[in-house]
Structure 1
């Protein structure tokens, strides 16, 4: 769709908030008993003129539709020709409101502008509100630049091992990223490792005992993996170093995986008395064939980056010396592609498998909960923690 210029849209277009990706009807339901006055509406029009940042075409079209509905009622214009992209987009947005009453459209418009004005006044230090909420832990960093939401494992002294709190932080980060204004989301790691998998002290330090930790862990793991299964935008892993455990198995749910030639991929589940997770019991055999998948998931074979590429787990391998430059240059180029087209294409690719992936995830988590309570697993974890073997 051709761009709708900000200068022509200042009378009706504020900045972006997650709420604007919701249907108009849902926005109205949040304040069903209130009615904005004409003065409120005019004040909202003036507030929009004070905003400096271009909110993007989607928001401008949504507010254009509410403005027209509030002032003229249901769409009364003939549909523009198919090649009149801008006017057709405006017509479609207005027409989609159907018979929404003028008063409701006016109230929705005022609510949107009010929310945006409050958001723009909040201190953000260069980041969106979604980013700030996602940064509940120093161990997970979320940054936004060049159309990319970057989620970084930031626990280098522990080889970026994932704690329960980090699981929760990532779930929130993905939830926010799914509706932010960026085009794609990228995971990477700080330091020498990409991620060394689960921090096994999640279980040994649990205050409620191993049974409670296993039960809570299974629920958290299921929600965590589901957030990857359901993520609607392009999801990319930039694997800067060794990856272990769940940081490897999750890669089957990513849209692209770029690895440094110093990266390795290791899933030592049998060594720890555990079983596969993150849908890898399904995605790995599908990607690399049953024999190669068994070599990783049953026998714990560690793959080099080149081996992972040959088996379909990695999209492309780059020399360590040029890895960061080459990968991020490419991703910034991809982030300029039409976002809705990529989301629609991803949905087509994934939709026939989502139900299967959710079912596999649920079964894996149930199995893992039982494994975590087994004597075999408990002994393996205690041995691992006491000896702190090299990964």
Structure 2
């Protein structure tokens, strides 16, 4: 067990800072270690002089299945018995929502402010934050077996990752509504046509991405940062404003009866699988 890799792996190789979600048995779901560790990892990648670009990917068959909802079931677990215990469970959930709001806000800020080229290699299905973060990446490559799903409304939550602003801008309001309001699942090829994915690769040829990235890592790093800064300059303030608004709405949604009912339904359905 001493040699077990952490839930979030960071490696610098040939000018590339690789950040890898590493909970393959849990479909790379975001637990506290990933949720709290990803922003500092991005900050380390930004300041590392040996890395010209950064890559985010996952271990195993999934990119990430999104936020681990068991965090919320634990937060509300002391409630449910009636009277005082209900109030305690409600207080726990409110505190958890406030804490999650702060950590989530910092995470999205790290994406918004990341100064170097940021590439996502979507090695499998992406859910929730695994989908919305892609709008904040510069280039997105995906395996042809990837599926993209943002089930926010079905779980009585609000969209995040600046997706409420970026998705209509990237794919048009109608297509964005299908994904963010109605939770429509899209394939990698569909996501590419919508503009969320840059290029789709056959799963057995995903290794073809790396020689391309190694070539890009040899480009003048300051010039790349300057170019990205110009591309992002007119959006940055707006993205921070959207992030604050989304996080506020998300934290509010986490304390509603509607969310608790959706959470109970989710775990009841999961236990029957």
TM-score over 0.5 for the pair: yes
CA distance in 2, matches of 1:172, 1:237: 17
Runs of 4+ in 1 over 2 A off after TM superposition: none
Superposed, 1:66-105 pairs within 5 Å as none
Residue 262 of structure 2 corresponds to 380
How far did residue 275 of structure 1 move?
Answer: 1.2
In 1, Cα distance between the equivalents of 2:196 and 2:137?
10
Cα deviation, 1:9-55, whole Å, max 9, x if unaligned, reads xxxxxxxxxxxxxxxxxxxxxxxxxxxxxxxxxxxxxxxxxxxxxxx
Given candidates 153, 159, 162, the residue that maps to 2:21 is 153
CA deviations on 1:276-304 (whole Å, 9 max, x unpaired) are 00000000000000000000000100010
Kindly indicate whether residue 251 of structure 2 is the aligned counterpart of residue 369 of structure 1: yes
Alignment of 1:98-117 (within 5 A): none
8 A contact 2:105–2:243 mirrored in 1: yes
CA-based RMSD: 1.5
* In 2: Cα distance, 1:370 partner to 1:265 partner: 25
Tell me how far 1:313 sits from its aligned partner: 0.1
- Kindly indicate whether residue 48 of structure 2 is the aligned counterpart of residue 180 of structure 1: yes
Q: 1:170-199, CA deviations, whole angstroms, 9 ceiling, x for partnerless residues?
A: 111111111102001100000110000000
2:184 corresponds to: 301
Could you tell me how far 1:152 is from its partner in structure 2? 0.3
Residue-by-residue CA offset, 1:326-362 (whole Å, 9 max, x unaligned): 1111111111111011000000000111000000000
Offset, 1:390: 10
Cα distance in 2 for partners of 1:250, 1:359 equals: 16
2:139 matched to 1:271? no
Higher strand share: 2
CA deviations on 1:124-167 (whole Å, 9 max, x unpaired) are xxxxxxxxxxxxx8100001101001000000110000012211
Q: 1:339 aligns with which of 201, 221, 246?
A: 221
Q: 5+ unaligned residues in a row in structure 2: which ranges?
A: 77-90
**2-structure distance, mates of 1:189, 1:215:** 28
Tell me if structure 1 keeps the 8 A contact 2:8–2:33.
no
Structure 1 residues 157 and 265, CA gap change in structure 2 (3 angstroms): same
Paired positions, count: 254
Q: Give the direction of change, closer, same or farther, for the CA distance of 1:315–1:390 in structure 2 (3 Å limit).
A: farther
> TM-score, structure 1 length as denominator?
0.63
